[in-house]
Amino acid sequence: MKFIAQRLYIYAALLSITSWFLLKLFDVEETKRTELALHRSDFYSNGYAKVEMDEEGQVKNKLIADKIIHYSDDRNTELLHPVYYSYSAGSKPSQSAPWVISAETGRLAADGNDLQLNGNAVIQRAEATNVKPIIIKSANLNVQLKTGQAQSSEWSELSSSAHRTTGQGMKLTYKQPIRVELLHSVKGTYETK
């Protein structure tokens, strides 16, 4: 009888320890679920366009996306297929070639200035009066909208007319004065006349 009582005490102790361990295990998972639930969207839009005008009513820049999701906790906005247009100051959109920056996905920070473009990204400007066409292919671009700068640490390719230059890392200032810099391992092919 004493042997059976000892077994019952051992089983009860094991059952208590197991129950306590399972309770702690599920308590930790519940805490994780609560923390993850705090980062949720407060609104979204399929088909998005934001246009900013200058003092004279001319389009200064435009941001469009197939879809956006805005998050209330950090006030960041996720974008699907974002395309950003930046027009030259003092020129009408119909008369100038805008800089067009596009990517697969993006994130616009709460400050409305820091646009992180993820995946393959393309920066281009079409040919216009006194302007040669240019295409820059890169990935994972960081674009500062107010200062007109874009940069990437990824492989980049710059094409203009028959010229092609590649390198690791790229910095671009697309507002006056325009400047493009490939940072490392720069190679190029140039057509001569």
What's the structural domain count of the chain?
2
- For the chain, 193 residues long, give each residue's pLDDT as a single digit of tens: 666 777 777 877 787 888 777 777 776 655 555 555 566 778 888 999 999 998 888 898 999 999 999 998 888 999 999 999 998 765 555 557 899 999 999 999 989 899 999 999 999 998 887 788 899 999 999 999 999 999 999 998 888 877 888 888 899 988 888 888 888 887 777 666 6
pLDDT value of residue 129: 78
* Gyration radius of the chain's alpha carbons: 27
* Residue 15 and residue 45 in one domain: no
Global confidence as pTM: 0.73
Which domain CATH number covers 160? 2.60.450.10
Let me know whether 7 and 88 are in one domain.
no
| DSSP assigned state of 131 | B
Q: Which residues pair with 59 in a beta bridge?
A: 53
Which class for 187: exposed (0-12), middle (13-18), buried (19 or more C-beta within 10 A)? exposed
Q: How far apart are CA 60 and CA 97, in angstroms?
A: 12
pLDDT at 3: 67
The predicted pLDDT at position 120 comes to 93
* Same domain for 57 and 106: yes
Contact between residue 156 and residue 167 where contact means Cβ atoms under 8 Å apart: yes
Beta-carbon neighbour count of residue 52 at 10 Å? 13
- Tell me the residue range of the domain where 141 lies: 40-189
Would you state the pLDDT for residue 28?
60
- With contact defined as beta carbons under 8 Å apart, do 125 and 100 qualify? yes
